[in-house]
Amino acid sequence: MKKVLITGAAGFLGSHLCDRFIHEGYKVIGMDNFITGDKKNLHYLESNPNFEFIEHDVTEFIKIEGRLDFILHFASPASPIDYLKIPIQTLKVGALGTHNLLGLAKAKKARILIASTSEVYGDPLVHPQTEDYYGNVNAIGPRGVYDEAKRFQESITMAYHRFHGLETRIVRIFNTYGPRMRLNDGRVIPAFMGQALRGEDLTIFGDGMQTRSFCYVDDQVEGIYRLLLSDYSYPVNIGNPNEITIKDFAEEIIKLTGTKQKVIYKDLPVDDPMQRKPDITLAKKLFNWEPKVGREEGMKKTFEYFKALSKEELYKSEHKDFSSYINK
C-alpha cells in the first residue's frame, strides 16, 4: 500500500481528501492540531485500519516513521475570520510549516502537493485568472498575512523543486464548498445559509456586484487527486469558472432555503477582491479535469448538511477560542 501524509486532516478539505485516499486504497496518516479543524470530521475513520492520526503542529519538527510516498500540505487557517485573529500563526504555517514538510519530503523521497489559493492573485487586474498572472496583492494589508504566506509557500516549494529536484505539485484552490464547512467560518456560503436557517437577514458586504466562482468539494478533490498523480510541477488552478455576483447568489440562497429574509448591506472589508474566476484551461489540458457538479445540485447537498446540524451548532455565534495561539 502506498502511504500518504495529509496535514490539516481535520479541516473541511483535508477530511474529504482523507476519504478519497482511503477509498483509493492508500494508507493515510492524518495530521492536525485542531486550531481550525474539527475532530468530528474524522470520527468515522477512527476504526479504519488504514487510517492513523497524529495531533501535531506542523510549525514544529515533524517525524514520521517508515516509508512515505506522498505528502499533501493542507494545514492553514483558510477563512478571513481565522487568519485575522491568528495572523502570526497563519504566516508561520505557510513558512515554517511548509519548510518542515518540504524537508520531510526530501528525506523520504516523497512527492509533495502544496495547497495554495486563488488569493495569490489578490484583487486581480486580469480576468479570468490564469496561472501566469502574477497578482495584485497588498502585502501589508490585513489579508496580506494569508496571501503572502501562500505566495511564500509557492516560492519555497519551487526552490526545493529546482535546487533539490524534489517532486512538487502546487494547487491554486478557488472558492470551494460542501459538507463539513464550519457554519461560522465567515465565508459567504456558510454565512448565508446559517443566516437563512436562523431566520436572519442575509448580509452582503459592499454593493454585492463583486463576483465569486464556487466549486463543489467532490470536484475539487478530484482535481487535486489528478494533479498529484500528474507530471506537472508548477501551479494549477482548480475551481469552477461559473461566475456569479454575490447579490445574485444571495437571491439563489433565499430561493433554495424557502425563506423570506431581506438582504442588508455593510461596508466592504479592506482588500476584498472584486472578481474571482479561474481559467482552468491548464487543468483540462494536463489531466482532463473540469467540474461536474452544478451549483444548484451542490448547494442542495450543502444546505441539507447544514439543516441537519444541531440547534446548538446552528446558533453558536462565537468563533473558536484562539487565545492559546495568540503569542505563538
Contacts of residue 324, defined as CB under 8 A and 6 or more positions apart, other chains included, come to none
Residue 231 located in a structural domain: yes
Residue 104 located in a structural domain: yes
Distance CA 279, CA 3 (A): 32
Q: How many domains does the chain have?
A: 1
Residue 111 located in a structural domain: yes
**Complete DSSP assignment for 82-120:** HHHHSHHHHHHIIIIIHHHHHHHHHHHT-EEEEEEEGGG
pTM: 0.94
Q: What is the reported pLDDT for 111?
A: 98
Q: Is 80 helix (H, G, I), strand (E, B) or coil?
A: helix
92: domain CATH number is 3.40.50.720
Domain that holds residue 90: 3-182+214-241+273-293
Q: Scan for cell 451542490, then name that residue.
A: 298
Residue 191 located in a structural domain: no
Helix 295-307 and helix 188-198, axial crossing angle in degrees, nearest 10: 50
Q: What is the reported pLDDT for 328?
A: 58
Q: Which residues are catalytic?
A: 146
Q: What is the reported pLDDT for 319?
A: 55
DSSP conformation class of 95:
I
In 90-239, where do the E strands start and end? 111-117, 168-173, 176-177, 202-205, 211-213, 215-216, 235-238
Whether 53 and 42 have beta carbons less than 8 Å apart is answered as yes
Residue 320 located in a structural domain: no
Q: What are phi and psi of 217, to 5 degrees?
A: -60, -35
The whole-number mean pLDDT for each consecutive block of 10 residues of the chain, a chain of 328 residues, reads 97 98 98 95 94 98 96 94 92 98 98 97 94 95 95 98 98 97 88 90 92 96 98 98 95 90 87 89 98 97 90 67 58
Instruction: Supply 167's cell numbers.
Output: 517532486
Residue 190 located in a structural domain: no
Residue 144 located in a structural domain: yes
Query: Residue 328 belongs to what H/E stretch?
Result: none
Distance CA 199, CA 121 (A): 35
Distance CA 202, CA 254 (A): 9
- C-alpha dihedral sign at 113, 22, 78, 240: positive
Residue 261 located in a structural domain: no
Whether 14 and 30 have beta carbons less than 8 Å apart is answered as yes
